[in-house]
Structure 1
Amino acid sequence: MAEGAFYRAMWRWHFYAGLIVLPILALMAVTGALYLYKSEVEALLYPMRITAPPDARPLPPSKIIAISQRISGYRVTQLLIPAARTESWRVTARAENGDSTVQLVDPFNGRVLGAMHSGGVMKTIKDLHSLALTGPIGNRLVEVVAGWAIILCVTGVYLRWPRRGQPALAIRGRTAGRLFWRDLHGTLGFLSAGVILFLAVTGMPWTDIWGGGLRAVVAANDWGRPKMAVIPWTAPARDALPWTLRDGGGAVGTIGDIGVDAVAGIAAARGLRHGYQIILPSHPGAPYLVASLVQRADDARALTIDAASGAVVQNIDWRMFGPGAKAVEWGIAAHQGQQYGEANRLLMLAGCLCLLALCITAPILWWKRRKHGRLLAPPATTPAARRMVAALMLGLGIFFPLTGLSMLAALAGEWLVGRVRMA
């Protein structure tokens, strides 16, 4: 088979992959870049910063909760104690209809400084990034898009790989010409393909189908978290836990409540004095959950505390995770730009910005390729080349089932279009 025929077949897959997912990838690039700076954006929009007297001691957690409940009229479900003394505490209160409010409280005087409703702006950004606003359909669509993004990276690197005097990294010509935009698109893609591929793969564990399957494999082979007890966690406890702990649960306890102040004391005795959140029992007999605020993957820590006796039923940390859980948690922390500090965040930001630039330059390049005023797909190639590349792509689709199904749909659509044109 001639290399040119194989090249054209890869080009067509790259073109159609981009055509299918370009708008959603652009949305993910913008929202992902914004979410990397979640704390900075929230500090601009909400009263997150406080002046902490050096010798002052914060009020007891129970006092903070009582103030919040009196003002909001809602039941408090969660208390977040930040790592820094100069940040306000966050108290999550939930109404009977499910609406939630996060009140920002100065822990040294109990003054409520402001509130974030329904999670605030960054919760909306996160929901846009994951398409959670559209429910289960959006989650599955994210999985399909991530799979096609992997195809774009693989085919793009092949197309730009240096051959016959064609450099991988070059920007030639003038902005009015097609060569400039082809080089700009190709150079940016070649430079950023590794980061974009990493973002696509490490985002997959949050999806329902692929991520749920991965959790099942990890659990079945004892590669994940320690075995947890019998009551499945519900929101907000589930949302506060690392990925690998979300399918577990808290231990059954007797009815009673030692109080949130005692829980904070138990957490402090176990080394959690700040930078953690307390999730209050959702019903009588349910435990308290104390979960660390994770920056690096190895920060993961969770305590299950019996509400009646104060006994620490479970004390789980990073060292107890299996290799599968560690790999996923590391990937998530690096995906969010947290694992290796500012350098990590800047690299992920560069990946988002390059992805956005690729989404912008791709339609410009397509426009520059038009002939006689018509927008055209890359030229067709030989049947043998089409079959070989389709087989390679479907082989990749085996690892990402929803993407594989969308590939079959795309191939069926192309076949139908071909039959109509022949008729």
Structure 2
Amino acid sequence: MKKGTYNRFWRWHFFGALFMAPLLITLTLSGIGYLFYNDVENVAYKDLFFGTSEETSQLTIDEGVSLVKQENKGFEVSKIMIMDEPYNTRLTLKSESGEEKYVFLDDHNEIVGSQNPKYTYANIMRNVHSSLFVGGTVVNYLVELAACWAIFLLFSGLYMTFKSRALKKPKKSTRRLQFKRIHALIGTIITIPMIILIFTGLPWSAFMGNFIYTASQEHPSIGTPLLKQQPPTSDMSEIPWATRKEAAPTSEKPDPHAHHGGNGEMPGMDMGHNGISVEELMGKVQDERISKPYSIVYPFSEDGVFTVSKGSNTGVTGLDVHPSEEMTSYFDQYSGNLISKVGYEEYGILAKWFTWGIPLHEGHLFGLPNKIINVIVCLAFLFLIFYGFKMWLSRKRNGNISAPPKTTSKISIGFVVLMVILGVIMPLFGISLLVVLAIEGILYLFHRGKGDMRTE
């Protein structure tokens, strides 16, 4: 590649870093915070997670749910997380206005306490990391765009490192060359680990995440198994990524005068008919050899189903399982019979990749070593940004941004090919490139017009 290509990479690398650095720093710091959400919450919420109620009478799970509903008027139970010992059972409640609440039951199914989901450590870290705690489509796209530009910054930095031989020790060292060498060395070491971290986080993104999931759904042989039934209407946040938007089967509505699985109205539902109790459902789950922990998502229509799932990326302390144990099953809400079941072994290669990749990104795929490796990579990335700015400040002149020089040479084929590849792999990045090119084109025409006026 020619010198003009180097300068073009340098210039785009500089401006990309300058504008995206604040976002990348925020995402990295919140990512480090999220890595340890299990450890933090086990200590911060130990009374709720492991404590017991002052009441000692033994209740059934259904009696416990009914008690929760009585003490939380205006809320309905939408989900139950059946945890393995020593964790307490956790209920998710929702109101008609969309307000949520967590309520915990001890081993006697008595109420231990409640939480506001908005302000739990895990949810705060997750919301900052994914949407800057602001949310909305524009913010979600901005966060994803920062991740995409980080990929470009790593690739372009790697190219400039080897093109300029930045790793070679200079004969005469200056502060700027020292900063450049450290910046180049860190970037070279963490490029591959950082790209893996970024790509394993993209399934949760707004634009590319939806694209990946759509591809997974439309091609079951490489993605997720196809269930051609009505989609569920309940919240699916604790269901595995691979089956989260998958269509669920429906329950067969019984004779309205017949009794199916109990005499009382099903907890968490206000549909005016009888259905299987949670206690009975748990018995059916046990018969299917589904072990704890797992979550139960209530049906919210007359032909809906109970969704029972085990996920490796639930975001709930104590609920995650190994990727190979992931499972989503559907039980008839009246008879309690198993209708269908989708396990990890039935996933296509794309779904399996992200089922392993997401826990790797979140730092709990292989325990503490996973967290330590992720922290080291994230800290190195922060140092990479720090030394990049130190390098810029060491050559920056007062009152001048000191951007890399413009180049008037033709764009090389290598540069175009790289940009096209990155734009195809990361569509949002590709769109942003078109915007950048349009701005540069307008500025070029503007300056050219001014030059023509001077010559008249």
> TM-score w.r.t. structure 1 length?
0.89
1:395 aligns with 2:421: yes
| 1:408 pairs with one of 420, 425, 434 | 434
Decide whether the 8 Å contact of 1:258 with 1:308 is kept in 2: yes
**Shift in CA distance, 117/291, structure 1 to aligned 2, threshold 3 Å:** same
Give the distance between the partners of 2:209 and 2:332, measured in 1 at CA.
Answer: 31
Checking the alignment, whether the CA contact within 8 Å between 2:183 and 2:387 is kept in structure 1 is: yes
1:354 maps to 2:380: yes
Tell me if structure 1 keeps the 8 A contact 2:224–2:243.
Answer: yes
- The Cα shift of 1:191 comes to 1.7
Q: Which amino acid aligns with 2:251?
A: G
Seen in structure 2, the aligned counterparts of structure 1 residues 58 and 90 have a Cα distance that, compared at 3 Å, is: farther
Q: Are 1:279 and 2:280 matched, yes or no? A: no
Q: 1:241 Cα deviation (Å)?
A: 1.5
Shift of 1:411: 2.0
Question: What is the correspondence of 1:259-278 to structure 2 with a 5 Å cutoff?
Answer: 259-278=277-296
Shift of 1:268: 1.6
Question: Is the aligned partner of 1:155 residue 2:156?
Answer: yes
Of 95-104 and 264-273, the range deviating more from structure 2 = 264-273
Q: What is the number of equivalent residue pairs in this alignment?
A: 413
Structure 2 residue identity aligned to 1:250: A
Letter aligned with residue 283 of structure 2: G
Which among 190, 213, 216 is matched to residue 215 of structure 1? 213
Q: Which residue of 2 aligns with 1:188?
A: 186
Instruction: Map Cα deviations across residues 349-378 of structure 1 (whole Å, 9 max, x no partner).
Output: 222222233333333332222024422111
Runs of at least 5 residues in structure 1 that lack an aligned partner in the other structure:
none
Cα deviation 1:16-49 (Å, max 9, x = unaligned): 2212321111111111111111111222332344
Mapped pair 1:290 → 2:308: yes
- Shift of the alpha carbon at 1:233? 2.5
CA RMSD of aligned residues (A): 2.7
Q: Aligned-pair distance for 1:390?
A: 4.5
What is the aligned counterpart of 2:361 among 310, 335, 339?
A: 335
The whole-number CA distance in structure 2 between the counterparts of 1:60 and 1:181 is 65
The Cα shift of 1:200 comes to: 1.7
Cα separation, 2, equivalents of 1:168 and 1:98: 59
Q: Measured at CA, do residues 51 and 211 of structure 1 come closer, stay the same or move farther in structure 2, by a change above 3 Å?
A: closer
Q: What is residue 67 of structure 1 aligned with on the other side?
A: 67
CA-to-aligned-CA distance 1:234-267 (integer Å, 9 cap, x gap): 342x212222212222222134411111111111
Of structures 1 and 2, the larger Rg is shown by: 2
**1:230 Cα offset (Å):** 1.7
- The question of whether the paired residues in 2 share the 8 Å contact of 1:90 and 1:102 is answered with yes
Partner of residue 264, structure 2: none
The Cα offsets for residues 299-345 of structure 1, whole Å up to 9 and x where unpaired, read as 21111000011110012111111112111212112111222222222
Deviation of 1:388 (Å): 4.9
Q: Shift in Å at residue 393 of structure 1?
A: 1.5
How far is the alpha carbon of 1:142 from its aligned partner?
2.9
Task: Pick the aligned partner of 2:350 from 324, 337, 346.
Answer: 324
Structure 1 counterpart of 2:267: none
What SS does structure 2 have at the residue aligned with 1:32? helix
- Aligned position for 2:257: none
> Corresponding residue for 2:14?
15
Query: Is the Cα contact below 8 Å between 1:275 and 1:292 reproduced in 2?
Result: yes
> Partner letter of residue 240 of structure 2?
P
Amino acid in structure 2 at the alignment position of 1:61: I
CA contact (8 A) 2:310 2:328 kept: yes
Match of 1:140 in 2: 141
SS at match of 2:250: coil
Once the 2 structures are TM-superposed, how far is the Cα of residue 71 of structure 1 from its aligned partner?
A: 2.3
1:84-233 matched pairs, under 5 angstroms: 85-108=85-108, 110-118=110-118, 120-131=120-131, 133-161=134-162, 164=165, 166-167=166-167, 177-222=175-220, 223-233=222-232
Counterpart contact for 1:9–1:386, Cα < 8 Å = no
TM-score, length-scaled by structure 2: 0.83
Separation (CA, whole Å) in 1 of partners of 2:340 and 2:60: 24
1:239 to 234, 237, 240: 237
CA displacement, residues 106-159 of structure 1 (integer Å, 9 cap, x when unaligned): 233613234233362321221221117322222322332222111111112222
Separation in 2, partners of 1:162, 1:64: 67
- 1:142-180 CA-to-partner distances (Å, cap 9, x unmatched) read 33222211111111222223865x42799x968xx3233
The 2-side partners of 1:254 and 1:39 are apart by: 39
SS in 2 for 1:303: strand
| Paired amino acid for 2:186 | L
Taking the aligned partners of 1:173 and 1:67, their CA distance within structure 2 comes to 73
Aligned residue for 2:16, secondary structure, equals helix
Identity %: 25
Measure how far apart 1:226 and its partner are. 1.9
